Amino acid sequence: MIDIRHKVGIIGFGNMGSVIARELAVQPDEYEVWVFEKDKNKDVKAKDINVAKDIPDLILKVNTIILAVKPQDFAHVLKEMRGRILGKLIISIAAGVSTKHIEKALGDVRVIRVMPNIAAKIGESVSCLSKGSFANDDDFECAHEIFCYLGTARIIDESMMNAATAISGSGPGYIFYFIENSGMDFNNIPQADRHDMMRRLEKAAQALGFNTEDAAFLAANTTNASISLLKATRLPPQELRLQVTSKGGTTEAGLEVLRKGGSWEEAARAALKRAEELTKGN
């Protein structure tokens, strides 16, 4: 019997890599999932998840490779992949790394760049996708299908990816901060307050250059997903805010503006500026 399953390899089994692996593994008739994680202390054993011994071993077994490693590990991973990936599709979820950077390192490879967010943990991620110079529509469809298992997915131009980071990536941080400081019951958020947060995030998205349709989509889905995450995890908003706030990252830059009394538009601009600083040279 011919195995027609899509063979997907995930390099990196951190927060996002593990979520992707587990979501695809529960579709065993559609996906064969392989994982490589360099940290041997991480338990990557799970039903229907196969473990590769190293990066070359993983590449041999799959058609699509998802890069889910930390920025400091990215150069080493690309070096390990070089010369081994003819005909493979590369999907990168690495923040601040452009498709051109990957193409320069690996050659004329098909690359899709994706920016998921924290709500992937509950299947409500708002993921933005863009393609590199050599990727085609079938590649887009493949990546779109994968990330729809984690929530909703939106195709955007890569020139807007830093803006997406500031809105759908850092937006949950603004929402958790707003709820944290409003005194409202986060298990029972009034509809008027939900709409207020959507409106603020939509205006911020438009200020960063998103068209009306994309701004409304990102704002509504990011707001709803963030509130769903609060309810699903039953964690206080300040704890989830801390989870999405990396030191020196885009969310931290945006929250600093809000703490000083700035608007969501100003916060998003600060997050965008930080995203642009982080992507220089990448």
Cα separation, 277 vs 271, in Å, equals 10
Please identify which residue in the block is written with the tokens 């020196």: 248
19 is in an annotated binding site: no
Q: How many CA atoms lie within 13 A of 178 on its CB side?
A: 23
231 is in an annotated binding site: no
87 is in an annotated binding site: no
93 is in an annotated binding site: no
14 is in an annotated binding site: yes
219 is in an annotated binding site: no
For residue 280 the two structure tokens come to 């220089």
CB neighbour list of residue 171: distance below 8 Å, 6 or more residues apart? 117, 201, 218, 219, 222, 223, 226
The helix-helix angle for 191-207 and 212-233 (nearest 10°) equals 140
42 by DSSP, 3-state: which?
Answer: coil
Cα separation, 61 vs 134, in Å, equals 22
198 is in an annotated binding site: no
Cα separation, 158 vs 156, in Å, equals 6
CA 142 to chain centre: 16
68 is in an annotated binding site: yes
Annotated binding site for NADP(+): 11-16, 68-71
Annotated binding site: 11-16, 68-71
